Amino acid sequence: MKEPLVFLLMGRSGCGKGTQAELLIKFFKKEKLGKILYVYTGDEFRKFFRKKKNFTAEMAHKIELSGNLEPSFLSVWLWSRKLVEKMTPEANLIMDGAPRNLTEAKIMNDAFDFYARNNIKPIYLEVSRSWAMEKLLNRKREDDTIESINKRFDFFDRSVMPVIDYYEGKSKYKLIRIYGEQSVEAVHREILGKVFK
């Protein structure tokens, strides 16, 4: 059996991580490269807000609507729970929008070691703030106000960029940079070209 792949899709809000995850899932299915477990932390948060009517969910939802950063303990709990419940020996994995800071990156390393995953592909979809802002405003989601988007962008620059630098210089997993301001298909081709070269 070929060693499963792990994709860490990172980039500013609006860079197209979700779209590229969908295309990777379709590609793996078409080429019969094995099943994929898709973990999108943002979606896990939204499910948590909708289904769990408790104090923690209420607090987290307020943070989401304000555009501020959810705490790492909740983020790690949500994606870890999905791995615990859904991971299989042969599953390829896509982590969409995680890790969001160096603490989460190191916890994720523990998870990969635990699951004996070594074929890790950190992928950074690089786009400008102005390009991403236009994309986010066009999707018309309730939490996409100019103020909340700018807060997310500031958070990205402050917390996620150190993760990008970590994968580029200090991690045993080497960063793959992708220029995100091109067509969806071109981004997908570039990802495949760099992952399967």
At 179-189, the pLDDT tens digits run: 999 999 999 99
| Cis upstream peptide for 99 (omega within 30°) | yes
Q: How many residues in total does the chain contain? A: 197
- The mean predicted confidence, pLDDT, of the chain is 92
Q: Does position 1 have pLDDT exceeding 70, yes or no?
A: no
pLDDT digits (tens, 9 = 90+) for 7-30: 999 999 999 999 999 999 999 999
CATH number of 5-195: 3.40.50.300
Q: Which residue has the tokens 């070929």?
A: 2
Which pLDDT score is estimated for 145?
86
54-104 pLDDT, tens digit each: 899 989 988 887 767 789 999 999 999 999 999 999 999 999 989 999 999
Instruction: Please report, for residues 46, 86, 143, 183, the alpha-carbon distance to residue 51 in angstroms, rounded to integers and kept in the order given.
Output: 9, 19, 18, 36
Domain boundaries of the chain, sorted by first residue: 5-195
